[in-house]
Amino acid sequence: MELSASVVMLATGSLLPVVVAALTKGHGSNRVKQALAAGLSAVGAALVSKVTTGEAVPLNGETLGYAGTAFLAAVLSYSNLYKPRDINTRVLPGFGIGRADPSATATSAATPASSAAAGSGMMGSTLDLAAPVNPFA
């Protein structure tokens, strides 16, 4: 079975939000997340072009189209699939690129008793589903 390059780029692009969420902090800058998604789209397009042509990576309209396809798939899959499930705070939220979350130091200094009294849950932390981070805004 042989897959076309466009299908591979659509599939790759639809998984990019997961990779970006894993490589950046949940509260990280939207610009950093956008740049990382665009860069990963370009790398994926270069790899697909290399595999399909067997030559050096051509910088032409076809390669740029592959990168655009992957980035568009990433934006659409994030907006419609991953954002409603708050992927940025569920996939390694404290790991990766980005500066430390200032609110994390304030909540980590709180005692478990004060966290429980505040109604923050069993583990002393809360998950704010009302304000997800959009890396493609």
Q: Are 134 and 17 in contact (CB under 8 A)?
A: no
Query: What's the predicted TM-score (pTM) here?
Result: 0.64
50 domain-assigned: yes
125 domain-assigned: no
110 domain-assigned: yes
Q: Report the C-alpha gap between 111 and 33 in whole angstroms.
A: 33
Q: Are 26 and 89 in contact (CB under 8 A)?
A: yes
- The parent domain of residue 62 ranges over 5-117
Give the model confidence (pLDDT) of 95-124 as tens digits. Answer: 777 666 656 544 444 444 444 444 444 444
Instruction: Count CB-CB contacts under 10 A for residue 5.
Output: 18
Count of domains forming the chain: 1
Task: Tally the residues of the chain.
Answer: 137
Question: pLDDT tens digits for the chain (137 residues)?
Answer: 677 888 888 888 998 988 888 888 777 788 888 899 999 999 999 988 888 877 787 788 888 998 999 999 999 998 898 888 888 777 777 777 766 665 654 444 444 444 444 444 444 444 444 555 565 65
69 domain-assigned: yes
